[in-house]
Amino acid sequence: MFANLTQALDFQGKALVLRSERQRVIASNIANADTPGYAGRDINFKEAMNAAEESAALAPTPARGATSEGTTHPNHIPLQSTMDKAGGPKLNYTIQTQPAMDGNSVDLDRERANFVDNSVRYEATLRFINGSSKTLLSAIQGQ
């Protein structure tokens, strides 16, 4: 019963972690806007969120004899995971919009727009969490 209560919070919590992760990646891109040869990175939020949901759904009930890759036989080919080895979201490379002589693929205007977009969404997620926790609290107190 309590699991149902906190399900919405769990979802928003995962979204918050991914948003902060993406914020970090974009901050690195902006920091390296002048570094020769730097390739911009980004997280596909939709994919990462799906992967986080899937891993959470799989984690509590691992199949009997299953390995960490989700295979049940050593000769099975593991599915391509959208999460990297460290458990963080998969990092993709950004598309270069304006080729530069120094090999830097960061488009500063786009990164700034992404940064603002991501911070607004981060704040929205925070408000959702605050809203659900207020709802829960008022339901508990019964006032």
Partner 1 sequence: MSMFSIFNVSGSAISSQSQRLNVVASNLANADAVAGPDGQGYKGRQVVFETVPMGSDASSGVKVSAIRESNEPMKRVHNPSHPSADADGYVLQSNVNPVEEMVNMISASRSYQNNVEVMNTAKTLMLKTLQMGQ
| Interacting residues toward partner 1 by CB under 8 A | 16-17, 20-21, 23-25, 27-28, 30-38, 41, 84, 86, 88, 91, 108, 112, 115-116, 119, 122-123, 126, 129-130, 133
Are the C-beta atoms of residues 105 and 94 closer than 8 Å to each other? yes
User: At closest approach, how far in Å is the CB of 58 from partner 1?
Assistant: 23
Specify the residue, 71 or 133, whose C-beta has the smaller distance to partner 1: 133
Specify the residue, 66 or 121, whose C-beta has the smaller distance to partner 1: 121
CA dihedral 117, 120, 123, 127 (to 10 degrees): -120
Specify the residue, 16 or 66, whose C-beta has the smaller distance to partner 1: 16
User: At closest approach, how far in Å is the CB of 35 from partner 1?
Assistant: 4
Specify the residue, 7 or 67, whose C-beta has the smaller distance to partner 1: 7
User: At closest approach, how far in Å is the CB of 130 from partner 1?
Assistant: 6
User: At closest approach, how far in Å is the CB of 136 from partner 1?
Assistant: 10
